[in-house]
Structures are given as structure tokens and as C-alpha cells.
Amino acid sequence: MSSSRRNFIKKATAVGAATAFGFGYSHTANQMLKNVLLDDRPADPISGNAPKPEFSVDLKTGKLRLNPDQTVAYTMCMGCSTICGVRVRIDKKTQKVLRVTGNPYHVLSSEPFLPYETSVRDSFQALSRYQEKGLRSRSTACGRGNAVLDKLTNPDRVKVPLKRVGPRGSGMWAPISFEQLVEEVVEGGNLFSDGQFDVLRAIRDLKITLDP
Ligand code: SF4
């Protein structure tokens, strides 16, 4: 290959890589420009615009400081069939869920989990960096668990039962009432215009055991 042809390919590759980099990081670049030009800086250089923590622990003394604007509730995540225990941070004023995190008392989100008699105050300390306790008692929810708060507020969330009204895989759905849902799940029938479905009432049998 001639030297000029090699140089041309090198330059074209460099331009292509720079363009791909530019597209890939366009959001980041935009954000950086916004920060510099409009002085639109995040509230904190490390935690950005994340809500303030619900508590903090003095690393030297272990003294706990609670955030008076937030409360914490212990509940279960319905993000999937695992149903992990989670800890939910709530803004007291707006009653909005701010974050979903792991429940240190729950076997599915903390290993080892805290004994139930542990006070909530002690559980906060156990999650903190005080004496590096948080490394042992770290309690987490998965990414999906963190995102379940979208179920409360996302404008695209599903609020009513949806029934398929086109061929399987066509992505065609229509909202139906809960009464229709129960009726069809129990009684079956030609539900999707493509054949008979015998469902709950037809298969319910309290006399024959599955595994005699
Ligand atoms: S935290 Fe994750 S794994 Fe656990 S129930 Fe929620 S979605 Fe499922």
C-alpha cells in the first residue's frame, strides 16, 4: 500500500473515531457545556443533585444525625417474584418516594441480615462507614428494585389490565376492566379470536391429586 493511501486511511479512521466518540458522548458533552456556559452546576460535586441522605453518622464517634425532612418505611418490593425486603425513603412534606434501597433486616437484601431486635438507629449505623460497618451490613436492592418507584409516577405506567387484541407479537393491546379480566381468566372462551381457551373453571379439580 502506498504511503499516501495509508495516510488517507489513518486520517479517515481518526475522523470516524472522533465522530463516533462525539455521538456517543454527546449528552455528556452537552451537560459539560451547559455547566460551563450557563453555570448550571450540580448541588454537590460528588453526589450531584441526588436527594440529601436520610441520616449521617459521625465517623469518629458513631453519633447519628437524622434528616428531619425524610422518613423511612420498611416494605416489600413487587418488582419481580423474588419479593425482596426494601427500605423506602420518603419526603415528609410531599409524601413522595425519593429512593428505594435494601432492607438490612431482610434475608434477601442483606447478608448477613440484622437481627429483628436491632433498633432502627443501630441499623442506620450498621449501614454507615462508621468502623466500616457498612462493608459488612451493606444492604442493596437491584436496579429494577431501585426503579420501582416509577410504578408510582411514570406517566407511561400500566394502570388497568391490558388485553392482546392482535396476533401474538403484534404489540396491539386494549384496556379492559378488572371485571372482564376476572371473567375471562375464570371462564375462558375464544378470548383472542384464535381458538378456545379452557382456563380456571375447566381445569379446577379438587378430587384428583396431581402426584398421587
Ligand atoms: S429488589 Fe429486585 S430482585 Fe428484589 S423483588 Fe425487587 S426487582 Fe425483584
pLDDT in tens, 32-75: 777 677 777 788 888 888 889 999 999 999 999 999 999 999 99
CA distances from 37 to 12, 40, 47, 57 (A): 32, 8, 21, 37
Does the CB atom of residue 151 touch ligand 1 within 6 A?
Answer: no
DSSP state of 80: S
CATH topology of domain 55-153: N-terminal domain of TfIIb (2.20.25)
Q: Are 102 and 86 in contact (CB under 8 A)?
A: yes
Centroid of ligand 1 to alpha carbon of 83 (angstroms): 6
Domain range summary for the chain, segments of one domain joined by +: 3-37, 55-153, 162-203
Q: Quote the pLDDT of residue 198.
A: 86
Q: Is the CB of 142 under 6 A from ligand 1?
A: yes
Q: List the chain residues with pLDDT less than 50.
A: none
Ligand 1 in reach of 80 Cβ (< 6 A):
yes
Single out the residue of 144, 117, 114, 109 nearest to residue 126, CA to CA: 114
Mutate to test the pocket of ligand 1, among 142, 148, 149, 151 (most ligand atoms within 8 A of CB): 142
**Strand segments (E) across the chain:** 55-57, 64-66, 70-76, 85-91, 97-102, 162-164, 173-175
